Amino acid sequence: MYNRIKQLGIVVLVTLLITALLVPSPSTAQAEKPEWEEGDAWAMGFDGDIQDIFSPGLDMIDEALEEIDVDEDDELEEIDYDVEGELGFYQIYEVTEVNDDGYVMEVESGGGIQASASFEITGEMPEEGEYDMEEQPDMETKTFSVEGELFFMLDIERTIHYDEDLAIEEMYMDYTLELSAEFSVENYPSFDYDWENEIMIVEYEDFSGGISVELGLQLQMEFEPALDVFQFPIEEHTSWTAESNMTVSGSYEGVIDLDYEEMPEEFQEMIDQWKEEEDIEFPIILEDIDTEEDEMNFGEIEETTEDIEIPMKCTGTEEIVLYDGTVTDAYILEFGTDNNLTMTQQEEASFQMMYSADAGFMVLQQMNLDDEMDDEIGQIIDMEAVQMESMDVEEARESMEEMQEEEKIPGFTLALLTLGAVVAVAVYYKKKQ
């Protein structure tokens, strides 16, 4: 778990550096070191429609439902699902202090998801009861349905101290995540068999459940020597590596609670067995847990130091249309975060971002995953739909606040729809046997 915290810190650091470090400078063949002024501010973000972003996942559900032809099956009257909403994430950067020793920048990142979903299948289904396995069950019209609602909010506040050359000396991060979910299922079909007496038992269950999570993570990162990521001036078709010793310390807290008393009995038994084996009770208080790790225990992250290397490369320039309609030439920057890999050893950069000297900040941000992960994520998400682009600061601030106030999340939405599709297919083939 501690290693994951350190990896999170490095990823957040590198992402922040790319999106926050570069500010206005003359549009020339190279990007000179910018001069910051107190009050300078920039923003990036993305937003999109759930149906567009998760179109690959929704297509998978459509394919599953194509197995059932309602028109040709007089026992099925209707199969329907609905999903709608929006997703957004935004970053706002502001220079809050300028002095002879360097600069201080405040960065706020956050967003949320608005979504809703439902799944229903209506048709002739077996009545509850016990039947001889060779007997045709009595049928009745029933509607199986799944619904769910969630709240999801992410907020990351960072303070970065730079020296006069814009190399990072230290960074403080406060990470907050809140998530709660409630779902309900009606007329979930259950087919059990008494093989000894050759009896089929048909039952329908209504159940509900919920989970709530509150997580907080505070990190302090110090760099010796100061981490000079961009080593100005930046020139096209050049490579370099930023190196430093990073010292990390911090703390964490959190509460995880699970409501499963209205779930099916077998699920309750599984949770109870897990609680007994792990010797835990809900709610789980993370800072009260003895993790039996030296670096991370009882809510404290012990100070540790490690060498880091960030390989960087500028591959060229590309014309980009900004949010206000202007066109700019942007530097294409690529970097990786694995200390054991150089840029030449990586098939693709971990991140690709484009910096406009005219606009004064990154105008595009895109994450590239390795082939295996890309195949898995690509099955449910259109990665091109979640690129972060330049935004007006006030618009980004208003959008961030709006997204954090909503109460839905699409990952859970797709899980509900998938459950509905699987049950629909199972019921369909059960009746055909």
Six-digit token string for 424: 């629909």
Other C-beta atoms closer than 10 Å to the C-beta of 226 total: 20
- Tell me, what DSSP letter sits at residue 411? H
- For residue 24, whether the previous peptide bond is cis, meaning omega lies within 30 degrees of 0, is no
Q: Is residue 167 part of a domain?
A: yes
Residue 383 banded pLDDT, cuts 50, 70, 90: low
Q: Output the pLDDT for position 345.
A: 36
How far apart CA 208 and CA 433 sit, in angstroms, is 30
pLDDT at 232 over 50: yes
pLDDT at 114 over 80: no
Higher pLDDT, 405 or 144: 144
pLDDT at 82 over 50: yes
Q: List 389's β-bridge partners, or say none.
A: 45, 364
Strands (E), 382-428: 388-390
Q: Output the pLDDT for position 24.
A: 41
Range of the domain at 160: 38-308+396-432
Q: Are 428 and 76 a contacting pair, CB within 8 Å?
A: yes
Q: Output the pLDDT for position 376.
A: 52
Q: Is residue 232 part of a domain?
A: yes
Q: Output the pLDDT for position 209.
A: 86
Torsion of Cα atoms, 160 then 161 then 167 then 172, to 10°: -40
| 261 contact partners, CB below 8 Å, separation of at least 6 | 268
Q: What's the mean per-residue pLDDT of the chain? A: 77
pLDDT per residue as tens digits for the range 202-212: 999 998 888 88
How far apart CA 431 and CA 433 sit, in angstroms, is 6
Six-digit token string for 1: 């778990």
- Tell me, what DSSP letter sits at residue 56? H
Q: Output the pLDDT for position 424.
A: 42
- Rounded mean pLDDT, 171-191: 88
Higher pLDDT, 313 or 419: 313
Q: Output the pLDDT for position 382.
A: 60
- For residue 189, whether the previous peptide bond is cis, meaning omega lies within 30 degrees of 0, is no
Q: Is residue 256 part of a domain?
A: yes
Q: Is residue 371 part of a domain?
A: no
Return the closest-CA partner of residue 19 out of 355, 427, 244, 425: 355
**In the chain, how long is the greatest CA-to-CA distance?**
88
pLDDT per residue as tens digits for the range 19-56: 444 444 444 467 777 788 899 888 888 887 777 777 77
**What's the full length of the chain, in residues?**
433
Return the closest-CA partner of residue 323 out of 381, 351, 362: 362
Torsion of Cα atoms, 257 then 262 then 266 then 271, to 10°: 10
Chain CA centroid to CA 397, Å: 20
Minimum mean pLDDT range among 19-28, 302-311, 314-323, 324-333: 19-28
Q: Is residue 334 part of a domain?
A: no
Other C-beta atoms closer than 10 Å to the C-beta of 140 total: 10
Between the CA of residue 432 and those of 55, 74, 127, 149, 219, what are the distances in Å? 31, 12, 16, 34, 58
Q: Is residue 345 part of a domain?
A: no
pLDDT at 325 over 80: yes
| 68 contact partners, CB below 8 Å, separation of at least 6 | 76, 79, 424, 425, 428
Burial of 23 (0-12, 13-18, 19+ CB in 10 A): buried
Residue 6 banded pLDDT, cuts 50, 70, 90: very low
Q: Output the pLDDT for position 412.
A: 39
Higher pLDDT, 179 or 294: 179
Q: Is residue 10 part of a domain?
A: no
Q: Output the pLDDT for position 70.
A: 58
Minimum mean pLDDT range among 57-71, 147-161, 193-207, 225-239: 57-71
Which run of H or E residues covers position 229? none
pLDDT at 353 over 90: no
pLDDT at 121 over 50: yes
Q: Say whether pTM exceeds 0.75.
A: no
Domain count, the chain: 1
Higher pLDDT, 286 or 433: 286
Q: List 158's β-bridge partners, or say none.
A: 107, 173
Instruction: Tell me whether strands 168-194 and 199-227 are parallel, antiparallel or unpaired.
Output: antiparallel
Minimum mean pLDDT range among 84-93, 173-182, 329-338, 379-388: 379-388
Higher pLDDT, 266 or 283: 283
pLDDT at 119 over 80: yes
How far apart CA 26 and CA 29 sit, in angstroms, is 9
Torsion of Cα atoms, 270 then 271 then 276 then 277, to 10°: 70
Return the closest-CA partner of residue 253 out of 177, 158, 170: 177
Six-digit token string for 207: 């159940």
Q: Are 310 and 242 a contacting pair, CB within 8 Å?
A: yes
Q: Are 70 and 76 a contacting pair, CB within 8 Å?
A: yes
Q: Is residue 23 part of a domain?
A: no
